Amino acid sequence: MRIVVLRAFRPSLLIVVHKPVAVGGLCGLGGLGSELCERDWLRCGDAAFLRPGWALPSDMTTPSASTSGSNPSFNPGSNSGSNPGSNFGSGAHKPRPFVGGNWKMNTDRASGLALAKAVAAATKPLEEAMDVAIFPPFVYLPLISQALCDAGSKVMLGAQDCYIAEKGAFTGEVSIGMLKDVGVSAVLVGHSERRHIMHEGDDFVTAKVDFVLAAGLTCVLCIGEKLEQRVTGQTDHINELQLERGLKHTKVEQLSKLVVAYEPVWAIGTGKTATPQDAQSAQAHIRTVLAEMFGKEAASTVRIQYGGSMTAANAATLMAEQDINGGLLGGASLKIEDFTAICQAAAASVKA
């Protein structure tokens, strides 16, 4: 058995990784009975060894370029024209793309494991160009964490939600510490299904953002308007409100761990995709709001994903837009061919 010793000092001072020794930790969780693997320790070790408040460095920028293609999109009240660009300039560098697969309440042990292995293999050649995350159901996180470790994959393991306390009498909830303990390094916050089916309000969303960022994990903050809000011209206003409330306590130095997912509610799981122009318009406005809150330079580095019926057919056209820096996928993340094609389109969207 390989033994690894990882000694971590408080990063406010220093983190030192020593070679091998030790037991337990992440990879033995979930009754998997496996050894502690040697996957990139920043990701694999995130889980087992980092503690709240420990932030990790992240390189976020890659050169920009665009791709094109055709895409039949839904247009229930176009917003384009009102805010076609964030004034960051079409030649500006695009942030490093980030594609996330939100599996929601889908897969089982065998199919989830197979899908995770397939994602790890398919995205290996893209690791230099982009970040990829998968968000399986809670119960499969340890299993999939192990599979990603075994594959030596840089795919980030994500959780679909979290709770806003470290431990205690909160039946049914899962804390950030627990998520880190099994290898999670990213968390979805404020997904529309949680906002609108579970009735999670703005204050709850804000608290979750605060918890995730304070723990040094990547926070994917989901925002977006409902159909009636779009047709009545409130898209930018709703995004502004959700952004300002969600990031009420966020500090500029935490932005490297923030990803914003613009997900028009009417597009999620409906097969109705926003037009690239409408998505760009909304996302340009989101970047403008971020610039007002945190400054233009900091705002230019934040990854803004589009989510809502993104497919292998429309991904390249969407991600060719300046302020669309990847995607958050539901349905398409469950089909390896589609997920792979979308990741490839994301990587190509920043190639010269």
Binding site for ligand PEP (CB under 6 A): 102, 263, 268-269, 307-310, 328-332
| 56: number of Cβ within 10 Å | 17
Cβ 221 to ligand PEP shortest distance, Å? 12
Per the DSSP assignment, residues forming a β-bridge with 301 are none
Give whichever of 64 and 344 is closer to ligand PEP, judged by the CB atom: 344
- HEC profile of 105-128: CCCCHHHHHHHHHHHHHHHHHHCC
SS3 (DSSP) at 220: strand
**For strand 61-62 and strand 94-95, is the pairing parallel, antiparallel, or unpaired?**
antiparallel
Residue number, nearest CB to ligand PEP: 330
Kindly list the catalytic residues. Answer: 191, 263
Give whichever of 169 and 197 is closer to ligand PEP, judged by the CB atom: 197
SS3 (DSSP) at 286: helix
Cβ 274 to ligand PEP shortest distance, Å? 11
Give whichever of 27 and 341 is closer to ligand PEP, judged by the CB atom: 341
DSSP at 74: B
**92 touches 284 (CB < 8 A):** no
Give whichever of 79 and 102 is closer to ligand PEP, judged by the CB atom: 102
Residue 170 CA, distance from chain mean position: 25
Angle between helices 202-214 and 235-246 (to 10 degrees): 50
SS3 (DSSP) at 223: strand
- Residue 23, exposed/middle/buried by CB under 10 A (0-12, 13-18, 19+)? exposed
Give whichever of 64 and 333 is closer to ligand PEP, judged by the CB atom: 333
Per the DSSP assignment, residues forming a β-bridge with 102 are 135
* Whole-angstrom distance, CA of residue 124 vs CA of residue 128: 9
329 closest CA partner among 337, 321, 63: 337
Give whichever of 15 and 222 is closer to ligand PEP, judged by the CB atom: 222
Cβ 52 to ligand PEP shortest distance, Å? 26
